[in-house]
Amino acid sequence: MNEPREHDGLMGENCAGGMTLPYYTADLPGVGGELKQAPQDFEVEEIPAYEPRGSGEHLFLWIEKIDLSAEQLTEHVARALDISATEIGVAGLKDRRAVTRQFVSVPANREDRIDRIESDQVRVLRADRHTNKLRTGHLRGNRFVVRLRGVDPDAAAKAEQVAERLLASGFPNYFGEQRFGRDAGNVRLGFELLRGEKKPSRIPYTRRRFLLRLSLSSVQSALFNDALATRVNEHSVQTVQRGDVMQVVASGGLFVAEDTAAEQRRLDAGETTITGPLFGPKMKSPEYDVGAREEEILSRWGLAEADFERFANLTTGSRRPYLARIDSLQVVPEGAGTLRFEFTLPPGVYATVLLREFQKRN
């Protein structure tokens, strides 16, 4: 029944299940270089949606971690405070090989144990109480300072061209390779679960909740990357098609495009954006040819819409903008062979995806 499976191949930084992710600035030269030669080359600071109020049953910890994954941080905090990992709240998952600063919420009744969190890789920079637990998405964005080392001698001039293009139009909002796990392990597990080839009970109980959510979302991410790559290849990622699901930038509201000329004007004015699929029972579906093409994507990957109902609470479905906008991008030469990038991105947008447009590696 869910055949054929064209996209069971490996995932990599430039791939989406056997499909190369095209560059948006393919006509411009890249600068080369290497990312994350040291954790200090990749700094991320969360922009909170709100500050803690100073009272409440939860404690917000402003934490700096170095070269530690999101799961490792949660496990470390849980052990230090002697609580369950489910009692810990975070707004978003941060890169492992990096220096990151973010809020983590824990029960306030563990305040006397906070000093136990300190380690060579984790520091609590401040702590304050708040009325609610921190939830996924409770952030306005992330600030980045990233160093790209070993770039070409004329990298600054090349980077300026790419930056000018991306500041004007945005860049493809692909999910980064880290979404799919080492050797694509997360996405493989997700496909097995959705196809009914593996039962959740076969996942170790201590990691079941985390791996279920991560692996299933990675499948949604791979399918989105496929849909977006098609639009980029066709040079239609900024062209409204009848049936596209559009999003109002100011409100986040979704609607299906009917009058393409009118909607193109709104898109060009920055009022709306074209969205792609994060498949699930509650996803707003496109219509006409756009809808048919999204159904073809599922078929190519050996899935059907009904498969997402197996885990309806974890794969509810939504839409994601095809293009991401950059705020205050600066590219500064920093010594021989190094460029420093400073920029701010919305929640859920990958800095590595932005930087690959500058590097141009295949």
pLDDT in tens, 79-103: 999 999 999 999 998 999 999 999 9
Question: Residue 91 corresponds to which amino acid?
Answer: A
Query: Which residues make beta-bridge pairs with 127?
Result: 61
In 3-83, which ranges are E strands?
Answer: 32-34, 42-48, 58-66
| CA distance to 66, 80, 170, per residue, from 178 (Å) | 17, 27, 21
Which residues belong to the active site? Answer: 95
Low-confidence ranges of the chain (pLDDT < 50): 1-6, 8-18
**Beta pairing, strands 338-345 & 327-333:** antiparallel
Contacts of 320 (CB under 8 A, 6+ apart): 173, 224, 275, 276, 277, 278, 348
CB 350, CB 154: distance < 8 Å: no
| Alpha-carbon span 46 to 69, nearest angstrom | 15
Query: Which residues make beta-bridge pairs with 142?
Result: 46, 345
Residue-wise burial string across 80-92, b where 16 or more C-beta atoms lie within 10 A, e elsewhere: bbebeeeebbbbb
Q: Which of the 8 DSSP states describes residue 284?
A: P
Q: Show the CA angle centred on residue 130, arms to residues 124 and 132, nearest 5°.
A: 115
Q: Catalogue all structural domains in the chain, each as residue range(s) with its CATH number.
A: 50-136 (3.30.2350.20), 168-324 (3.30.2340.10)
Question: Residue 193 corresponds to which amino acid?
Answer: L
Q: What is the pLDDT of residue 179?
A: 87
| CA distance to 76, 97, 159, 162, per residue, from 331 (Å) | 35, 21, 7, 10
| Alpha-carbon span 321 to 228, nearest angstrom | 9
Reported as a single tens digit per residue, the pLDDT across 205-234 is 888 988 999 999 999 999 999 999 999 999
| Alpha-carbon span 211 to 93, nearest angstrom | 14
Reading the block at residue 153, the tokens are: 């001698």
CA 324, distance to chain mean position in Å, is 11
pTM score, two decimals? Answer: 0.90
